[in-house]
Amino acid sequence: MGMFNQTEVVDVLGDKAKAKKEFSFVKLFLLAILGGAFIGLGFLACIKGSGTIPAEWGSYGTLIGACLFPIGLIGIVLVGGELATGNMMTMMIGALQKKISFIDLIYNWVVVMLGNLVGGIVVAYLWGHVAGMTEGAFLEKTLSIANARAGDPPLVAFISAIGCNIFVCMAVWLSTSAKDIAGKILGAWFPIMIFVVGGFQHVVANAFVIPAAIFSGEADITWASFFLNIVIVFLGNAVGGALVIGLPCYLMYGKKEDSAVKAGSSKMANAAAEH
C-alpha cells in the first residue's frame, strides 16, 4: 500500500482546505448534513451491535460497538461529506499555510458544525425514534451513553473532547496519507475504534446519541443541556484538532519548503552582494 509522507500529507490537507473554501454555502451545508448523518448511522450500528450484550461479557460489548462505529468516518472519507472535527485540523493547516484565512476557517467550522447537527438529529429522529432502532431493547444502552455524555461536568467534557479529536484527526491524517482504498479504510478504522472504546466526547456523535435519548421521552436530559454540551465539546474538539494536532504537524512538516526557499534566497542575496 503506497502512502504520502508527512510533508506531503500536510500539503494535501492544505490543498483540501483551499478547495473547501471554494464550496458554496449550499454545497458545504449539504455535505455537512451528509457527514453528520454518516456519523449518526455509525453510532446507530454501534448501539445495535452492542446494546443487548449481557453485562457478564464485560467490555467485549464496548469493543464490538467500537468496531462498528468507524463506518461513519469511512463513509465520509470514501463517499463524501464534511465533518467538523476533521476540518478542525484540515482548515487549521490550510490557514497556517496561508492557503485560506482564519475567517475562512471559522466560517467552515460554523457551517459544517450546523450541518453536522442537522444530520445527526435527523438520523436520531427518523431511525432512532420513528423506526425505534435506539429504543425498545436498545433504549438502556442509548440512555446509558447519552446520560454519560450529557452528565459530564464541563471541564471533564472539555478535556475528554480534546483527547477525542486527537484520535479523529489521527484517523483523518492516516486515511489522507494512504493512496488506496484499503489503506484509507484501515487508517480511519483503528483510531476511531480506540476513541469509542475510551468513551471520549465527540461533538458530532453527541449530536446523534443525546437527541436519540431525548426523543425517547425517557431521558432526564433537556435540549438546553444538550446544546451546552455541544458548545463545550466543540471547543474541546477544536483544541484537540487545531492546536494539539494541526499546529504541531504544520510546524514539524509544513515549513520545510518555506525554509528551503528562504535559505536559497539568502544564498542568492549573499552571492549578489559579493559581486
Q: Dihedral of CA 75/76/79/82: which sign? A: positive
Query: Where are the domains positioned within the chain?
Result: 6-255
Q: Does domain 6-255 have CATH number 3.90.198.10?
A: no
The closest of 226, 81, 54, 248 to 150, measured between CA atoms, is 226
Whether the Cβ atoms of residue 110 and residue 29 lie closer than 8 Å to each other = no
The confidence score (pLDDT) of residue 256 equals 58
Whether the Cβ atoms of residue 190 and residue 124 lie closer than 8 Å to each other = no
- Burial letters for 49-75: b for 16+ Cβ neighbours within 10 Å, e otherwise? bbbebeeeeeeebbeebbbbbbbbbbb
The confidence score (pLDDT) of residue 261 equals 44
Residues of the chain with pLDDT under 50: 258-275
Please tell me whether residue 178 adopts helix, strand or coil conformation: strand
- Angle made by CA atoms 233, 239, 240, in degrees to the nearest 5: 90
The confidence score (pLDDT) of residue 167 equals 98
The confidence score (pLDDT) of residue 260 equals 46
The confidence score (pLDDT) of residue 257 equals 52
